[in-house]
Amino acid sequence: MFTAITVDDEKMIKTSISVLLHSNETGFKIVGEAKDGLEALQLNEQLTPDLIITDIRMPKLNGLKFIEKVKETNACSKFLIISGYDEFEYAQTAIRYGVVDFLLKPLKPDQFLSSLAKVHQQLEADQSASKERFEWLPLLRSSAEDLVQNLWLLEEEQVFQLVHDLHSQLTEKQGDPSVLQNMYLDLIVYMKGELERKKRELAEIEAFDGGIPDDTKKMKETLDGICRAVMAHIKNTRNIGRRPKILSALEYIETNYSEETLSLQEAAETVDMSAAYFSIEFKAEMGISFIQYLTKRRIEQAKKLLQDPSCKTYEIAHSIGYKDYPHFTKTFKKHVGLTPSEYRKRVGS
């Protein structure tokens, strides 16, 4: 059952609307009434209704100004306008604000019920899209971590492969451009969060204005552009003097991360540094600790292997340095938000 409030200075109109809603199976329930725009603003803050049915000409704050203010805080609400004035300018403004229907007084029950059915259908579609988007959040969060890690390593080929693979997965499972837009926005929010956790402020991503195009191909191009800008910034500002030894350590990790016994001490020795000093330098360069990086690299590889249905999960665990399978499952879920089996089902469905 969706919630609705009515906003009108005529008591009779509000009563008529209430009767029509409750005497028909509309799927809506009136949870509040207001006699003017200011009172309705307070009601909206308290109740955040799914539907707002409002007049235009009211004292204190007219209906269109009221809708404009509501949209600043509650963009999810749907609106129906019921007005005694058939003015083209009003209708134009209503369309611009995304009002579902503009109905004239006296209210015709059939038209009103038809409009309610339209709103109900839109709300159900929004709910479904929101649920699907929520289900993708663990994958988006994990992808953001992988992207930022590879951006920091300046692994250009890997970055664009990750973007390509993620875009393919998203477009395969979701054909609605508006849902894809929101998924890309979620991904970028997570990327910003990852960079903040590294205590690195990159103007190239901070300046992103949130504008994701509605063209599916251009969504990927936008993300590619952000990644290029971030890597260019990192190249220009990185401390080159410290880079060679950390690069050597990273190469050693890449070759040996499948060994269960790989340790910070071992990695430090390969580049002729004490474990304590290596630990400090590694975190300063990478933004995360040695063990965090090693774990992320192993999980990244596990995610790749899980896309191959012929690979058994316990074999994958062993191949990336986890001989204790329950520990692998627990670590994977902590980082990805899904168990290995759940992740495999998600990317393969």
- The pLDDT score that the predictor gives to residue 175 is 65
**289 with 258, same domain?**
yes
Residue 86 sits in the same domain as residue 66: yes
Q: Is residue 321 part of a domain?
A: yes
How many whole angstroms from its chain centre is CA 253?
32
- Residue 20 predicted with pLDDT over 80: yes
- Whether residue 313 lies inside any domain: the answer is yes
Query: Residue 117 falls within a domain, yes or no?
Result: no
- Between helices 325-336 and 290-306, what is the axis angle to 10°? 100
Alpha carbon separation from 234 to 206, 225, 231, 284, 328 (Å, rounded): 14, 14, 5, 14, 32
Point out the domain boundary residue: 236, 257, 277.
236
249 plus 333 within the same structural domain: yes
Mean pLDDT of 114-132: 86
Q: Are 270 and 245 in contact (CB under 8 A)?
A: no
Tokens 């929520």 found at: 134
Q: Per mean pLDDT, which of 151-160, 175-184, 258-267, 333-342 is the most reliable? A: 258-267
Last residue of a domain, one of 208, 236, 264: 236
Alpha-carbon distances of 286 from 226, 230, 235, 253, 261, rounded to whole Å: 20, 15, 13, 13, 22
pLDDT level of residue 5 (50, 70, 90 thresholds): very high
Band (241; pLDDT cuts 50, 70, 90) = very low
Residue 129 located in a structural domain = no
Q: What is the pLDDT of residues 30-62, one digit of tens each?
A: 999 998 888 889 998 888 899 999 988 887 888
What's the pLDDT band for 137 if we cut at 50, 70, 90?
confident
DSSP percent split of the chain into helix, strand, coil, nearest 5: 65, 10, 25
Shared-domain flag, residues 226 and 151:
yes
More confident call, 198 vs 338: 338
**Lowest-confidence pick of 229-243, 250-264, 280-294:** 229-243
Same domain membership, residue 103 and residue 11:
yes
Q: Element (H or E) spanning 34, and its range?
A: strand 28-34
How many domains are contained in the chain?
3
How big is the chain by its Cα radius of gyration, in Å? 27
| CATH code of residue 69 | 3.40.50.2300
Same domain membership, residue 322 and residue 261 = yes
Compute the average pLDDT of residues 219-238: 80
Asked, for residue 63, whether it belongs to a domain, the answer is yes
Which residues form the domain of 285? Answer: 240-348
The enclosing domain of 308 has a CATH number of 1.10.10.60
Compute the CA torsion angle 57, 62, 64, 70 (nearest 10 deg): -140
Tokens of 67: 């809708």
Q: What is the mean pLDDT of residues 282-311?
A: 88
Give residue 200's pLDDT band: very low, low, confident or very high (50, 70, 90): low
* pLDDT for residue 318: 95
Does 24 score more than 60 pLDDT? yes
Write out the two tokens for 332. Answer: 């994977």
User: Helix and strand tally (H, E) in the chain?
Assistant: 16, 5
Given this model, what pLDDT does residue 340 score? 92
Task: Read off the tokens for 192.
Answer: 């910003």
Largest CA distance in the chain: 86
Domain assignment present for residue 177? The answer is: yes
Residues 43 and 98 grouped into a single domain = yes
**Bigger pLDDT: 37 or 135?**
37
Q: Do 25 and 43 fall into the same domain?
A: yes
Q: What is the pLDDT of residue 88?
A: 65
Which residues lie closer than 8 Å to 35 by C-beta, 6 or more apart?
Answer: 7, 8, 9, 58, 59
* 72 lies in some domain: yes
Residue 227: per-residue pLDDT: 86
Mean pLDDT, residues 70-85: 82
- Rounded average pLDDT over 134-158: 83
Residue 197 pLDDT > 70, yes or no? Answer: no
Question: Same structural domain for residues 305 and 228?
Answer: no
Highest mean pLDDT among 65-79, 182-196, 266-280: 266-280
Task: State which H helix or E strand residue 82 sits in.
Answer: strand 78-83
Residue 89 forms part of a structural domain = yes
Beta-strand relationship, 2-7 and 101-104: unpaired
